[in-house]
Structure 1
Amino acid sequence: MKIGLYFGTFNPIHVGHLIIANHMAENADLEQVWLVVTPHNPHKKKETLLDDYHRLQMVHLATEDYPKLKPSDIEFKLSQPNYTVNTLVHLEEKYPDHEFSLIMGEDNLKSLHKWKNYEVLLQNHHIYVYPRLSPDQEDSCLKNHPKVHLIDAPIVEISSTFIRKSIKEGKNIQPLLPSKVWEYIDHNNFYKK
């Protein structure tokens, strides 16, 4: 099975994440997209980052109506700080019949050469890249790599930071969140302080 891995803190997951994940599942040659919730790095103090399991629960709620989208807590079980290359080794051992690819925005592709063992990632995995609006118009030197696939996905400029700030300011941002995620956030009074 061909699986695309879409990593993020998903703090919170919003409709932009779903649009990209679903577009990749429907339009790239992937059978499923796993939304990999990145755990809190114990060495970094991040006041705004919700507990790992709350963020995972929101990804569950957001994806339950999309059969090709699956939440993943695989990185919760790995030692921190963790690197993508280690996650992929772990997944390949656990699911030897699956073929794993990475999903990332153009902005991440530009910095991929700074990732730990990025050559190994490119050697062993395909990378599906969605467009991002960026003031820096410089193209990535890896854009033409045979394992890099530029996917003509919608450009969605919604950020979790904007959502958290808006909730704190008492603004209605319901249209930016899947309804079950909005209800979960509202019920738990998340991001209000």
Structure 2
Amino acid sequence: MTKLGIFGGTFNPIHHGHLFIAETVLEKTDIDQVIFIPSANPPHKPHQNIISFEHRWNMLNLAISGHPHFISNDIEHKLGGISYTVKTLDELKKKYADSEIYLIIGSDSLAALQTWKDPDRLLGMTQFIVFPRSYTDASRTETRFLDRSVFLEVPLVSISSSDIRSRVAHGEFIGGMVPEKVEQYITENRLYLLN
């Protein structure tokens, strides 16, 4: 049975940290393929200034093009409305009925799972592959979620999308933080500028 790792995120923009996490999942687990799913309308970031889905989708595809085990899926955009993980997994389970589905999340998200929509149903639908985030208080994580989790031992990723956006807005260098094609796309489309 094929094992799929679902890596959802705002990807505003996608960066080398995201790609490193996905590569590590492939290397350290028996996941066969990582599916990147950009959030259409994330419920946990309702007031943030998120650029259009189209731009985030285009950058994601530029970043993963040519990788044999990375694919993208725009299911949350097609579903419309608020992007609830449980709703997304319902649809993915229909599409990939013969596959095992794992959710790739940060330790901060794991600690907050009890606040997500339908956490009990979510718990019955998937297992979690968890990467470390520096500001997580593990004591807040409920045991029922810990029991369904595999923890990746990887260095903390120090790249953040918010830092990249800030650097672009202030005319600072972002080389090495994002793939070159993504950097070019940001420049050509004048994304994240203050004016």
User: Which residue pairs with 2:174 in the alignment?
Assistant: 173
Aligned residue in 1 for 2:113? 112
Report the count of equivalent residues: 192
- Sort the Cα spacing of 1:40 and 1:146 in 2 relative to 1 into closer, same or farther, 3 A: closer
- C-alpha deviations, 1:76-96, integer Å up to 9, x for none? 111311311111111111221
Do 2:8 and 2:36's aligned partners in 1 also have CA atoms closer than 8 Å? yes
Counterpart residue number, 2:98: 97
For residue 126 of structure 1, report the CA deviation from its aligned partner.
Answer: 1.0
* Cα pair distance change 1:41/1:151, threshold 3 Å: closer
Distance in 1, Cα, partners of 2:61 & 2:144: 32
Superposition pairs of residues 65-104 of structure 1, within 5 angstroms: 65-104=66-105
- In structure 1, stretches of 5+ residues that fail to align are none
Equivalent pair of 2:14/2:63 in contact (CA under 8 Å): yes
Of all paired residues, the percent bearing the same amino acid is 36
Question: Separation in 2 of the partners of 1:91 and 1:164?
Answer: 31
State which drifts further: 13-22 or 142-151.
142-151
Q: Does the 8 Å CA contact 2:108/2:136 hold for their aligned counterparts?
A: no
2: distance between equivalents of 1:175 and 1:138? 34
Instruction: From the superposition, tell whether residues 6 and 159 of structure 1 become closer, same or farther in structure 2 (CA, over 3 Å).
Output: same
Structure 1's 167 and 93: CA in aligned 2 closer, same or farther, altered over 3 A? same
Partner of 2:52: 51
Unaligned residue ranges in structure 2 (runs of 5+): none
SS of residue paired to 2:158? coil
**CA apart distance, 1:141:** 2.5
TM-score for the superposition, normalised by structure 1: 0.91
**RMSD (Å), alpha carbons:** 2.1
Does residue 28 of structure 1 match 2:61? no
